[in-house]
Structure 1
Amino acid sequence: MEHNGAKIKTEEAKALLHEAFASRINNLQRSIALAQQVIAIGEQIESEELRALAKNQLALYQMIQGDYQKSLTNAEDALLFFNAHQNLKGIGDAKYSIAGVHYKTDNFHLGLIFLLDCLFIYRKISDHYNEARVLKSLGTIYEYLDDQENAIDSYLSSVAASKLAEDATLESNAYNPLSGIYLKRGLHDLALATIEKSISLKEQTQDVRGLAYALYGRGKVYIKLKRFDEALQDLNHCLKIQLEVGDRLGIAMAYNKLGMLMYELRQFSEARNLLLLAQQVADQYNIRIVRYKSLFNLHLVAKAEGKLEEALHYLEQYIHIKEAIIASHTHNTVKSYEAISKVKVLELEAEIQRSKTEIIEKKNAELDSFFYRVSHDLKGPISSLLGLNNLMKFEVKDEKVLKYIDMYQSQILRIDNIVLDLINLTRMNHAEVNQTKIDFDTLLHDCINTYQFLDNFKRISFKVDIEPNLEFYSEWAIVNTILQNLIENAIKYSMPDKEPIVHISIARNEKSLVIIVTDNGIGIDPKLQTKVFNMFFRANDRVEGTGLGLYILKRAVERLHGEVSFKSEVFQGTSFTVKLPFFSRQSIL
């Protein structure tokens, strides 16, 4: 009952996190409160995973709000847990918040490194939603690097990923900065059309916080177009939303832009007050980009008023900060492009590897098709040769000739076995998945009796251990192939001068079905052990075989997403271990 109670609380807590994430676009404080509530629930039921999930979300909301140190602490705590448990989604989400903290405080080199890690993770798990978020943030960093071309590419890639994720909010997020770049390039009509598309999407999705940034973007365009009344309306609306949701970066940006609008309108006293508010927020929350912009703008206001001493004071502060930023910017730019260069090399290598894999898969398919076609074409002539051989035995009485006929027949049978193995191999590769419950008692009995024709079969002692009440669902034909090849191998390679024993064990561990077939036969030379799974490889020429048995075994195990290994000692014997994923009946229905 206690376990069930914890499970119910966990599900309820995850629902709260879902609600918190949905609320972030119009009620950030509620999102923060819900995430903190889930952390408390996680502590109550002693669930580290729940705490980590909630801390990841809380870090995101705190990063948005501008509580950067708190965000960093929570994200790093969550990252420790998700790294330990190899949870890629959790790792990506934590690194996204950490990246946001870094680049929003102008440490965009570190921000870039974390974002590139995120991009790899989200692409690996095909998470288009988060891929779009990362690409938008990468565009922002490219803008910091004064690299407009790559910034535009990143924003447009973000739009494409957003459409794959079918998320209009994300799509509109990328349009905001795109509009800003078009504005810098003097493409005023395109800038206005782009930002109005963003505003339309924000209104449709009711993304209140995102709408504030879109209104800010349109306000910038209106200022450039000298449409000051419309600019004032948009920027005041933007500031009102940012104050309500508590987005400190947005608040600082809005104060600064309103201050410059008042400067354009020659309302210098109001401009100074707004710019001082922008500087105050920027100082308090280490938003350096707004801080130095507001200082430069205060210098412009004082200069316009004829307050030259005050203007010089602000200009000196601006230059001091700007010089530090330029030094940091140069260092970060070099480091950032080194990271980008490494990523591009890795992407190129990955693309080359994908191409190689596609070529290999295509060639393997062609080879399988060739094997299947040729094998079927050969079956008819081989059957005819065997039939003619049997007829000759009836007609010929000469012992010497009969000896040659038998040699001839043994070679035809060898070819026939190779053809049968090839047909079995290609059929296994292309057969439809058809899982059923495996009756190992019956299957093993039939597999063992299949080899009664082998010369040393009667000498062998079989020991069979099958775990009672074993319930395993898989492809019967493939499991049959695995057991047949293991058993045939153990029988064929027995020692002639000692009693052969073959021990077959089938049981389950926590995650897998484990099949172990052990013999006390001739073993495998250590020098040859790396080659035993190669096609047509035979470790011992004194034993008849096609050289395909262990190759087919390995392909069959891979077909079931399992693994095969062996240990062998010359003249002591060999033990093969096959592990297959354990599926319940419910998991395959």
Structure 2
Amino acid sequence: MLRLFFVLALFYVQALPVFGQANPVDSLSKALEDTRNKRERVDILNELSFRTNNTEPAKSLDYATRAYQEAYEIKYSRGIQAALSLQGYYYYQKGEHTQALEYLRRSSAVTPADYEFQAYNLIITGNVFRATATYDSARQCYQRSISLLNGKNAPRYLAIGYKNLGKLCVLEWKLSEAREALQRALQVYESMNNRYGIADTWFALSDVSKNEAKFAEAREYVNKGCQYATELNNDYLKIYCLSNEADVHYKLGDYTRALKIFFEALELLKARDLPMMEADLYSSVGDAYEALGQNDMALKYFLEALKITERTGMRHETGKLYSNMAWIYKNQMNFRLAHDYIRRSLELRKAIGDAHGISNCYNVLGVIYMQEKKYKESTVALEQALEIRKRIGHREGVSASLFNIAIVYEEQKQYQKALAVQTEALTLDEAIGNKFSLGISYNGMGNLLIKLRNFPAAAQSLKQAGKLALETGSRTLLMNNNFYWSQYFEATKDPARALQYYKKFASLNDSIYNDMSAQKLAELQALYQIEKKDQEIKSLNLQRQRHENEIELQRSQLNQQSIIIISAICGIVTLSLLAIVVYRYNRRLTKAHREITEQKEEIQSQSEELIEANQTIAEINRKLEEKIETRTVELSQAYKELDTFFYRSSHDFRRPLTTFLGLSEVAKITVKDSNALELFDKVKETATNLDKMLVKLQSISDVGSQQLVYKEVMIKEIFDTVCDGFRSELQRKNIRVSSEIRLTDKFISYPAMIRIIIENLVENAIHFSGTDSPFIKLRASQTRDYITIDLQDNGQGIAKEYQDQVFDMYYRANERSKGNGLGLYIVKKAVEKLDGSISLSSIPLIGSTFTIMLPMAYEARKFKV
């Protein structure tokens, strides 16, 4: 018995820091049933608690609670201390830090104290302080645990102490100290051949390398850790493997790949109740969505993470999320909320002494000021960020701040100052060697040199950026490079090549958008299936709980019956009466045991059905993902073929129509017969109408493909040009035209698309003009980051019952209309393509007003964080 106790105790001490390794839970449960030694029972219950603390947290807490109760009854101090530590660890993992500290305090107060458990309690206490960003207290706990263990034979706990001290230094951006502490932990783990500890330390070292911008080294550490995670088949390590692998992809600009891997990690995490890890993954998913320009999805995941971090008191992560949300609101031009959240983040990060976080806040604040055109305030904030980043050795951050300062100078047209700062940032990026970040800098340098009219140097920079885009495989980098090439050729008066590169830019933009759409669809499908599965599991758990309650009630009744029978036996003298009572009791007990056995079998059957249902759901998910991918590819190919056919057919049909129109004009000169001339007029009229229809069909193709130039839109000039095109019809119907443009900022969009919208609305107003002083009036005004365009006429108007249908293809509300029913359909399609909205207000015989709202677009993702 004594030997078994020491074996279990040693096994427990060595295994306690390990998270979820393969474990003999069934063997321990059997040992618990067999042993009658009370101390052995406590040790086994504590070991069961440890073995289930991450797979079945509720069961783990139950084991630890039972261990504490039984240890307290026999005054077994070591068992009490272990049980309290395990309960503290449970509450730490749940993010309930106040309760965790209380249990750890009680464990440390147990006498006589075990130095190993004292050290372990100090480490977990340090982890609680680290999670709540109380860094000084966390450091004291780790240093005290290391001091307590030095010179003693407790290598595993010593390694844990150094490892967690290293993780704290990573948060504080004390990278040299972090690397030293983690290397010490790694040496201890390697001397013990503790593969779990080695893998966990490699993942922590990868964070150091990523902060130092040594991404090749970081990837090497991650690959080593992932190899051990696979060999050990440990879910916790697998989650760390996936999240670190995705983070490396994110740092190198492969956002789509990073997002996919983050979701794999989240899927693996759903089976576990680990809120702190869940918050970290939600935040990372939000970062990837923001980098892809999906601000709505990014904000969704940031808010989900924020719910957890604010509830659990994770101040470091909360400060980071506030800053991320400020960046999203800045992207959406909502400067009020952007300032509010960056203020919250800065206050919190100053309170916890997070130098890296403070520099991030100043950088974001500088970009917000820049977009508000407050250039002086922007420069001050960015220089504050630059000073802190230089001090803590954040080289990538220094490059980003320099890059943003250069943009501030560029916005003020101080191009030579911008060039000097941009050159400094580029030199630093070359020294760091991050090809993705270097590609961004070369693109920015090329854009700046175009504005300086230094075309040879601009071309060289853009070539370097394009080369790096291909080397990194970053579609985002390549897309921006194509856009800047189109700007280059437009500036060098080569419109054909400018259009060629713009088409490449638009194609990559559509490709990234389609990938994101497929990712969203797959995510929604997965969430639906998981929710459905969770509902089924919840229902089965309720049934199982009901059965367990019924069984417990029966057991309670049986216990009461036993007490009654024992009391009756004491009062009964005759042996015959005692035999009868015992016989009846046994019958009842057998019946109850049979009922309990049947209920257990029923629960087992339901569990097997649940497992089978989960497998079916997984197979359905896999097939759905394959179908979605196949259909997306087929749909994309069909769209391209249809667009090509549409474009070529419209051009081919227009050639003979042009010939007909030319012949009709020739006939007016050569033919004298009045009947023949009348027929030629009819031919000309028909050909003209058909040509207009083909032009509209071609407009639909142009709207769908969006192969257009993106620049400042001159609303008045477009309106005047359109009216000139309809000059003869306007004069024939005596229609007055006027315009009123009130814009404070430049309207940046697709001029050709805006012309299509205005042209079709003007044509519609002419066709349905009134007879009493007819007019067409265009008004344009700006409200914050949107432009409102109103086109008003006093024509025939549209009845209310037809107003919802006028934007449908081929719909004509007026049977006398000679139009083809495509004009308003094209208008709505173009408006939606520009992320705008259109509405109609019309009264029959009074007139109509079409109101269009479009974003005052700006150049997307121009800054570095």
Aligned-partner Cα distance in 2 for 1:227–1:327: 32
Match of 2:250 among 136, 143, 155: 143
Cα displacement string for residues 417-439 of structure 1 (whole angstroms, at most 9, x for unaligned residues): xxxxxxxxxxxxxxxxxxxxxxx
Matched residue type, 2:204? S
With a CA cutoff of 8 Å and minimum separation of 6, indicate the structure with the bigger relative contact order: 1
- Displacement of 1:332 in angstroms is 11
Structure 1 residue aligned with 2:385: 278
Long gaps (5+) in structure 2: 1-9, 11-77, 79-110, 439-466, 474-865
**Residues 19, 261 of structure 1: alpha-carbon distance in 2 compared, 3 angstrom cutoff:** same
Moved more, 115-124 or 285-294: 115-124
Counterpart for residue 131 of structure 2: 25
Partner of 2:115 in structure 1?
9
Distance 1:117 1:244, change over 3 A: farther
Q: 2:333 is paired with a residue of what secondary structure?
A: coil
Q: Quote how far apart the aligned CAs of 1:77 are.
A: 1.1
Q: 2:295 aligns with which of 178, 185, 188?
A: 188
Indicate conservation of the 8 Å contact 1:128/1:165, yes or no. no
2-side partners of 1:72 and 1:185: how far apart?
32
Write the distance in 1 (CA, Å) between the matches of 2:235 and 2:276. Answer: 13
Q: Does 1:105 align with 2:212?
A: yes
Instruction: Kindly indicate whether the alpha-carbon contact (under 8 Å) linking 2:396 and 2:429 is maintained by their aligned counterparts in 1.
Output: no
Alpha-carbon deviation of 1:146? 2.1
Q: Contact 2:326/2:337 (CA < 8 Å) preserved in 1?
A: yes
Question: How many Å apart are 1:336 and its aligned residue?
Answer: 9.9
Alpha-carbon offset, residue 194 of structure 1: 1.9
Whether 2:357 is the aligned partner of 1:254: answer: no
The one-letter code matched in structure 1 to 2:123 is L
Q: Residue 225 in 1 paired to residue 319 in 2?
A: no
* Per-residue deviation, residues 22-58 of structure 1 (Å, max 9, x unmatched): 2212123322221111111112646444332211110
Match status 1:155 vs 2:283: no
CA shift for structure 1 position 216: 1.8
The letter for the 1-side match of 2:382 is: L
Question: Contact conserved, 1:109 with 1:333, CA < 8 A, in 2?
Answer: no
Identity of aligned residues (%): 17
User: Do 1:235 and 1:254's aligned partners in 2 also have CA atoms closer than 8 Å?
Assistant: yes
The question of 1:57 aligning with 2:164 is answered: yes
Q: How does 1:72-87 map to 2 (within 5 A)?
A: 72-87=179-194
Does the alignment pair 1:234 with 2:341? yes
Cα drift, residue 21 of structure 1: 1.4
- Kindly indicate whether the alpha-carbon contact (under 8 Å) linking 1:38 and 1:54 is maintained by their aligned counterparts in 2: yes
The Cα offsets for residues 213-261 of structure 1, whole Å up to 9 and x where unpaired, read as 2222211111111111111111122222223333343232222111111
> Structure 2 matches for 1:344-355, cutoff 5 A?
none
Counterparts in 2 of 1:138-537, with a 5 A limit? 138-305=245-412, 307-325=414-432
Q: Distance in 2 between matches of 1:44 and 1:268?
A: 59
* Structure 2 residue identity aligned to 1:16: L
DSSP-derived class of the 1:166 partner: coil
- Aligned partners of 2:435 and 2:472 also within 8 Å: no
User: Compared with structure 1, are the counterparts of its residues 127 and 60 closer, same or farther at alpha carbon in structure 2 (3 Å cutoff)?
Assistant: farther
Report the alpha carbon displacement of residue 13 of structure 1 after superposing the two structures with TM: 0.9
Are the structure 2 counterparts of residues 318 and 200 from structure 1 closer, same or farther at C-alpha, using a change threshold of 3 Å? Answer: same
Residue deviations 1:309-345 (CA, integer Å, cap 9, x gap): 43232112012123334576699999999xxxxxxxx
Task: State the 1:306 CA deviation.
Answer: 5.1
Following the alignment from structure 1 to structure 2, what is the Cα–Cα distance between the partners of residues 139 and 184? 14
Which amino acid in 2 is paired with 1:15? Answer: N
Distance (whole Å) between structure 2 residues aligned to residue 258 and residue 72 of structure 1: 31
The 1:32/1:182 distance shift into structure 2, 3 A limit, reads same
The C-alpha deviation readout for 1:524-579, integer Å capped at 9, x for no partner, is xxxxxxxxxxxxxxxxxxxxxxxxxxxxxxxxxxxxxxxxxxxxxxxxxxxxxxxx
SS at 2:247's partner residue? Answer: helix
Deviations 1:353-406 (A, max 9, x none): xxxxxxxxxxxxxxxxxxxxxxxxxxxxxxxxxxxxxxxxxxxxxxxxxxxxxx
* Structure 2 CA distance for aligned equivalents of residues 38 and 336 of structure 1: 44
CA distance in 2, matches of 1:172, 1:295: 31
Kindly provide the amino acid, as one letter, of the partner of residue 85 in structure 1: M
Instruction: State the SS of the aligned residue for 2:114.
Output: helix
Which ranges in structure 1 are unaligned for 5 or more consecutive residues? 338-589
Q: Is the 8 A contact 1:109 1:332 kept in 2?
A: no
CA distance in 2, matches of 1:147, 1:121: 25
Number of equivalent positions: 335
Q: Which residue of 1 aligns with 2:196?
A: 89
Q: CA–CA distance in 2 between the matches of 1:231 and 1:270?
A: 15
Return the alpha-carbon distance in structure 1 between the equivalents of residues 127 and 234 of structure 2. 16
SS class of match (1:164): coil
Tell me how far apart the structure 2 counterparts of residues 309 and 74 of structure 1 sit (CA, whole Å): 46
Which whole-Å CA distance do the structure 2 matches of 1:158 and 1:244 have between them? 32
Instruction: Give the conservation status (yes or no) of the 8 Å contact 2:213–2:434.
Output: no
Query: What is the identity, as a one-letter code, of the residue corresponding to 1:196?
Result: L
Partner in structure 1 of residue 819 of structure 2: none
Q: Give distance in 1, aligned partners of 2:224 and 2:298.
A: 31
On the 8 A contact 1:59/1:74 being kept in 2, the answer is: yes
> Retained in 2: the 8 A contact 1:179–1:195?
yes
Change (3 A) 1:334 1:82: farther
Cα root mean square deviation, aligned: 3.0
Instruction: Write the distance in 2 (CA, Å) between the matches of 1:125 and 1:332.
Output: 37
Following TM superposition, by how much is the alpha carbon of 1:84 offset from its aligned partner in structure 2, in angstroms? Answer: 1.0
User: Hey, what's the Cα distance between the residues in 2 that align with 1:37 and 1:332?
Assistant: 48
CA 1:258/1:306 → structure 2, altered by over 3 Å: closer, same or farther?
A: same
Task: Determine if contact 2:262/2:281 at 8 Å carries over to the other structure.
Answer: yes
In 2: Cα distance, 1:180 partner to 1:256 partner: 16
Change (3 A) 1:171 1:229: same
For the structure 1 residues 210 and 40, does the alpha-carbon distance in structure 2 shift closer, same or farther, using more than 3 Å as the test? same
Off by >6 Å, runs of 4+ in structure 1: 3-7, 330-337
Letter in 2 for 1:17: I
| Secondary structure, aligned partner of 2:131 | coil
Q: Is the 8 A contact 1:263 1:301 kept in 2?
A: yes
Q: Measure, in 1, the Cα distance between the counterparts of 2:434 and 2:294.
A: 31
Cα gap change, 1:124 to 1:236, in 2 (>3 Å): farther
Task: Find the counterpart in structure 1 of residue 107 from structure 2.
Answer: none
User: AA paired with 1:105?
Assistant: E
For 2:411 and 2:377, locate their aligned partners in 1 and report how far apart those are by CA, in whole Å. Answer: 13
- Structure 2 counterpart of 1:63, one-letter code: V
Tell me if structure 2 keeps the 8 A contact 1:139–1:152: yes
* Residue 402 of structure 1: aligned partner: none
TM-score between the two structures when normalised by the length of structure 2: 0.36
- For 2:179 and 2:416, locate their aligned partners in 1 and report how far apart those are by CA, in whole Å: 40
Q: TM-score, normalised by structure 1?
A: 0.53
Distance (whole Å) between structure 2 residues aligned to residue 264 and residue 334 of structure 1 = 31
**Aligned counterparts of 2:344 and 2:180: Cα–Cα separation in 1:** 33
- Please tell me whether the aligned partners of residues 126 and 141 of structure 2 are also in contact (alpha carbons under 8 angstroms): yes
Distance 1:6 1:333, change over 3 A: farther
